[in-house]
Each structure stands twice: as C-alpha cells, then as structure tokens.
Structure 1
Amino acid sequence: MRAEGLPEPPADPVLRWRAPTRDDVPAWRRLLAAVDAGEGHGEVPDDDELADEFDDAWTDPRRDALFGFDDKGSLLAFGWVQCTPGAVEVHRVRLWGEVHPDWRGRGLGRFLLAWLQARGQQVATHLPPHLPAVLEVAAEDFLHDRIRLFERSSFAPVRWFNTLQRDLRTAAPAHVAIPSGISIRLWTRDDDEATRLVHNEAFADHWGTTAAEPEPWRHSYTGAGSFRPDLSLLAYDGARLAGYCLGSAYPQDAALKGYSEGWIDRLGTSPAFRRRGVGTALLGAALRAIADAGLDVASLMVDTGNASGALALYQRLGFTPVERSVVFHKPLVDR
C-alpha cells in the first residue's frame, strides 16, 4: 500500500512492504527479539503490549506504519509514526523503527527514516497550528551507526535520559520517614482521575511535557497490561492527593536479563506539596513494595536535565545509572 507523497522502498526481490495488522504481532515480536539479541537490552514487548499499539486513538497504522516482510512472512523491518495529543509547548511527532540485524547495511534504515519523516510531516499538518512541531527520534548512546544516521538527516540531540537501577538483593530499602500529615496507600481504580490531574500539575513545567488526556493516560499507564497496582502508591494530605508513584513490571524480560524487575514509571508531587519530602516518601514506599513483591531490581528513567533534583533523590536512595539514551529533534518549519 503506497500513500501519496511518501518515498518508494528500495527495489528488492524479497521484501514486500505494507501496513501492519494485528495478525502481524507475533512476527513483530520476533523481529524485536532479534534486535534485542544483538543490542543486549533484555527487553522485548510481549504480544499484548504490541497489540495495544493498534488501539491508540491518536495513530492509524493503516497510514502511520509500514512493515517489510520477506517471501516467507518474516518481518525484517518496520516504521511507525506516533503523536500523542495534549502538547503544552511543542508537538512531538515520534518516529520509531527497527531493521533486523541480518538485513542492516542495505539501505533499509535510510529508507525507513525517510518514509517516517515524510509521514511525520503529513501528520504534523493536522496538528493545532498555535504550537511549533518537531520530529523526534531516540537511541541508546552506544548505537553509533543509528546516531550517525539521525545526524546525517539533520536531527540534533536535545535531551539525555539515564536508566537507573537499585539492586534490592544486596540491601533492603532504607526506611524513609513520611512527612507529618501525609498518609501513603496503594492506588485504586477510584483514584485514577485524581492521579491523572496531579500528574498534569506535577509535570506541567517539565521538558517535553504533554498534558495527559483520559484515554492516552489509561492507554499508556493505568490501563496498560504492564501496570501494577500493587506497586503504585499515593500520598494524601487528608482528602487531597499530594503525590503519586506508578509502577509496572515486564515478567517476560526476566529470562533475558537474569533478574526480575519492577519499574517506577512515574513519580510526581503536586506543586503545592513540593519540598516537603512527599516524593522521597513515595519512592521509599515504592522500593519496599517492589521488594515485597519478590522482584530483584527497581528501575526507572530520569531526564538528566530535570531541574527538580530528581536525579539526586534517586541516587540518595541507592540508584545507579546503567544505560543512557539520547533524544533528537528536527524542527518542522513548513506545515
């Protein structure tokens, strides 16, 4: 299926390009597993996670994705354009793709990036015009060939993120005092809307923020298959929600990594409760919840340019960096 204004794929007697369907999820997972085996992340989405991509209300895989198969039905490359609504300062049109390690060096990556940029430009023309728009790509900092490809296509690095881990097998989480007047309890479904609103308050002044609308919020966080209510905590001051911590887990990754892992996906404090120790208390409670669930390691990702002092907080509680990724932007000037 070819859309007007998008580049044609390179001539190849083996590859056939088309839009994906849900039936392609197993082949998609196998491709990502092959990529992971070569790069060593130990992280491969399961079929349910990948199937969720077809439920995004803000992306249409019939137009926004392109998959390349060989004549035996094996997926060898893919690209996907995504843009979540709710931009506050800039529309970020995210471009995502991979090429099977055995098929790299044949120009497929260059073609996919060109296709993604062209489709991303088309998507951007339908975004509200009062904000600027950028194309966004990301890569771990050791993927030098990928970074060179981005830079040759005029993408510039704008932000760096560290993945941090706290090994719970070597030392139990330290006790963290709960501030006076604050109570901490587990998240429940009844708390979902209040949590979303506090999340939007907490991250309103952060780089790249997107105001989470109800459907994207549930899709990405509290409705995702990886979400763990037993690892998710709320801090209340009486009836008022002061902060939250959302957790997740990906049990399929344990065999690849050699350890089980609980993720701290989002940690935020309402601006009215900052500098009172709410975030520290939530993080300490989350570490205990992850340990009590029998998981070996707590993991999270932090923006190294975050001015809130989050990195220092994580390091005080025993987190250390294990991986670094880079986000690149390319401004869209004509839309």
Structure 2
Amino acid sequence: MHEEPIHVEHVEAWADLTNALAVSDATDEFYETEDLLEELGEPGVDPEHDTVGLWDRGAMVGFGQLRLGAQLRDGRGRISIGGGISPEYRRKGHGRKIMDALELRATQKMAERFPGIDFTIDVWGNSPGHSAGLMALARGYEPARYFQDMAVGPGNFCPSGPPGAIPESARLLSYSPRIAEIVRLLDNEAFADHWGSTPKSVEEWEATTGARSFRSNYSMVLLEDRGSEAEPRALCYVLSAEWISKELYISRVGTSRSDRGHGYAAWVLSAVVSAAFEAGYTKVDLSVDVQSPTGATGLYERLGFKTVRQGIMYRKIAAAG
C-alpha cells in the first residue's frame, strides 16, 4: 500500500476507481479517462501537490484532489476537497491520511496564492450517513448545505412556454465562444448570492465551456441586443454537459438578478430539455441547492423533475497559515 500524486499515466486506473465508486455509492457520477485528464490540467491545479492516489497491488483504491477558487468570496478563499475510497478499504484510516495531506496542502496553497487570508474548506459528504460525511464530522467539519439531484424523462417532462413579456430585441440562441465573456459575467453576477460560489476567471470559464463533456448545442442563452452603442446583454442562460451517453446534465442555470421572476429560466431550460429529448436523450438531470435563493427547486419540480438522491456539503473555516 502506498500513496503518490496522480499523474497522467494513472488516469485509466483513476477512471476505473471513480466509476466503481459511482456504482457502489449510487452517485451516477461516471467519468471517461479524457474527463479526468482535463481535471489534471484545470487552471490553477498542480497535480503533483493537489492530488493523492492510494494504491494497493497495482490498483488505485482511493484518491483525493484539491481545488482553490481563483478569486476570493466574502474576503475568504474557498478550497474544495473531493475524493473517495473503495468500500473494502474504508474505516481503516486511509481517508484520514489523504485528508491530512490535502488539508496541509490547502494551508500551503492559500499562503502562496492569498497570503494572510482565511479560507473555507468544503468536503462533499455524499448521502446522509455515508462514511465520507462521518469522517468530515470527526475532523471538525459541519453540515453546511443540502443538495438534491433531480431528473426527468421524456414522459414526465412538463415544458414551460415563452414568458408573457420578453424584450423585443431579445433572442434565444445556442452558446458560442462569441458570447462567452457576456455569459461569464452574467454567471458571476447571477451566482454572487449563491452559497459556496466564487467568481469564475476567464481561464476557469474557458476550461468549463471547452471541456470534452460540454454541449454547446444544448446550452442556450437569452440575449438582448442593445444596439450599436452597447454590448448585447445576457438575460438568462442554461449550460449543459454529457458524461453518460444520451443523458444530459444541466450544469448551470442563471438569470440576471434584475430579471428574475419573469419566467426566463423556465422557458430557456424547457427549450434545452425539449431539444435533448427530440434528439433521443433518455434523461436530463441536475443538482440543486435546497436553499437556493432563487427557489430553483420549485421551478424544476414544475417542469417534472423528481428528486433521485440527496447529499450534504460539509464546511470548515480555517485560519491563514
């Protein structure tokens, strides 16, 4: 048994482990090797120091990875730590060793990037009662937010039509690099009042929308043309990805804070989901913060989405190193 950073040559074993965990923990989070290669190359990620792989007899049996948001939120840095341990290796101290290494790395990385700044560490605890959450509690983390995964199939989908009032100059179009910066700025504004979010840098946005899993043809933007004197303005957008063939994942839904309450999100999301089902997709799913300030859960329920699993994000506040 030994630990070492996750290198490019390890991604196949890493994919085998993550996909086995998707089955054993019923998370439905399946990844191809190409997806994990992209994770190693994400902006700001240093695989040599930000990842840990646990190996036994040539097989990866556990892993951990750390991410630091490129910008501060509420005067703090935000670290997220993810990972997993094969069920047969749990409750033997392996997860604790990985967390020890990554929490130490969190302090070091914050000191390098944002010296003297406090930070939070978020850890995904999976479903209530899962060993990951129990370990987080034992390490001083507290339940901070509850999320639920929701899904809808073609037979249960209840699409919403166009809102009664749409600016005459607004049009619905597919996402493209031409409007990337407009949508990025709206994303940062729309999620500024959402728990756990940090503003996305240009590099982070390009990594997200340039990923192998991103589906621009099922990502739509309601764009308002403001004439030759001003840039167009994005009112609402829906971004999608695909990790499992013919299952579309809604990764972002955002509306300008001044345009909330007009029904834009329901309409744009309906257009995306309808297009997916017409193209032969068998399921559309998403994850939502139960306490979302926009009341997103109710919106998704009206469109026919049903909760399929729940999970908890645990958080610890750490002082600058």
- How high is the TM-score relative to the length of structure 1? 0.87
CA drift of 1:143 comes to 4.5
Write the distance in 1 (CA, Å) between the matches of 2:156 and 2:200. Answer: 36
Equivalent of residue 193 in structure 1, options 181, 194, 205: 181
Residues 1:68 and 2:54 are matched in the alignment? yes
Alignment partner, residue 267 of structure 1? 253
Gaps of 5+ in 1: 1-14, 253-259
Deviation at 1:250, TM superposition (A): 1.5
- For 1:326, the aligned partner's letter is I
In the alignment, the residues of structure 1 paired with residue 253 and residue 45 of structure 2 have an alpha-carbon distance, to the nearest angstrom, of 27
Tell me the equivalent position of 1:250. Answer: 243
Change in Cα spacing, 1:130 to 1:306, as seen in structure 2 (3 Å) is: farther
Q: Is 1:40 equivalent to 2:33 in the alignment?
A: no
Instruction: Name 2:192's counterpart in structure 1.
Output: 204
Q: Partners in 1 of 2:157 and 2:194 — Cα distance? A: 31
Q: Does 1:18 align with 2:11?
A: no
Letter in 2 for 1:269: T
| Equivalence for 1:236 | 223
Q: Tell me, yes or no, if the aligned pair for 1:160 and 1:326 is still in contact at 8 Å.
A: yes
Question: What stretches of structure 2 of length at least 5 have no aligned partner?
Answer: 226-231
Q: CA deviation at 1:174?
A: 2.7
Cα drift, residue 130 of structure 1: 7.1
The alpha-carbon distance between structure 1 residues 154 and 291, as it changes in their structure 2 partners (threshold 3 A), is same
Kindly indicate whether the alpha-carbon contact (under 8 Å) linking 2:157 and 2:305 is maintained by their aligned counterparts in 1.
no
Q: Give the match's secondary structure for 1:183.
A: strand
Which letter does structure 2 place at the counterpart of 1:227?
F
Amino acid at match of 2:69: T
Post-superposition CA distance 1:32-57 (Å, at most 9, x none): 12222322233321001000122123
Q: Please tell me the root mean square deviation across aligned C-alpha atoms, in Å.
A: 1.8
Deviation at 1:93, TM superposition (A): 1.1
Q: What is the letter of the counterpart of residue 231 of structure 1?
A: Y
**Corresponding residue SS for 1:294:** coil
Given that 1:28 and 1:75 are in contact with CA atoms closer than 8 Å, whether structure 2 keeps it comes out as: yes
Query: CA–CA distance in 2 between the matches of 1:152 and 1:144?
Result: 13
Per-residue CA shift, 1:73-113, capped at 9, x if unaligned? Answer: 21122222211212222322111222222222322112212
Q: State whether structure 2 residue 66 is matched by structure 1 residue 81.
A: yes
After superposition, the Cα gap between the structure-2 partners of 1:306 and 1:130, relative to the gap in structure 1 and judged at 3 Å, is farther
1:1-335 matched pairs, under 5 angstroms: 15-71=1-57, 73-89=58-74, 90-129=76-115, 132-168=118-154, 170-178=155-163, 179-181=165-167, 182-219=170-207, 221-238=208-225, 239-252=232-245, 260-335=246-321
Q: Deviation of residue 334 (structure 1)?
A: 4.1
SS at match of 1:282: helix
The structure-2 alpha-carbon separation of the partners of 1:42 and 1:202, relative to structure 1 and needing over 3 Å to count, comes to closer
Equivalent-residue separation in structure 1 for 2:3 and 2:293 (angstroms): 44
Q: How high is the sequence identity, in percent, across the aligned residues?
A: 26
Alignment coverage as a number of residue pairs: 311
| Counterpart for residue 6 of structure 1 | none
1:235 is displaced (CA, Å) by: 0.5
- The question of whether the paired residues in 1 share the 8 Å contact of 2:247 and 2:283 is answered with yes
Tell me which amino acid in the other structure corresponds to 2:104.
A
Q: 1:326 to 1:206 in 2, by over 3 A?
A: same
Q: Are the structure 2 counterparts of residues 141 and 269 from structure 1 closer, same or farther at C-alpha, using a change threshold of 3 Å?
A: same
Equivalent-residue separation in structure 2 for 1:209 and 1:126 (angstroms): 21
CA contact (8 A) 2:161 2:267 kept: yes
Judge conservation of contact 2:124–2:132 (CA < 8 Å) in 1.
Answer: no
Question: Residues of 2 paired with 1:224 and 1:205: CA distance?
Answer: 26
Shift of 1:315: 1.2
How many Å separate the matches in 2 of 1:26 and 1:261?
22
Cα distance, 1:122 vs. partner? Answer: 1.8
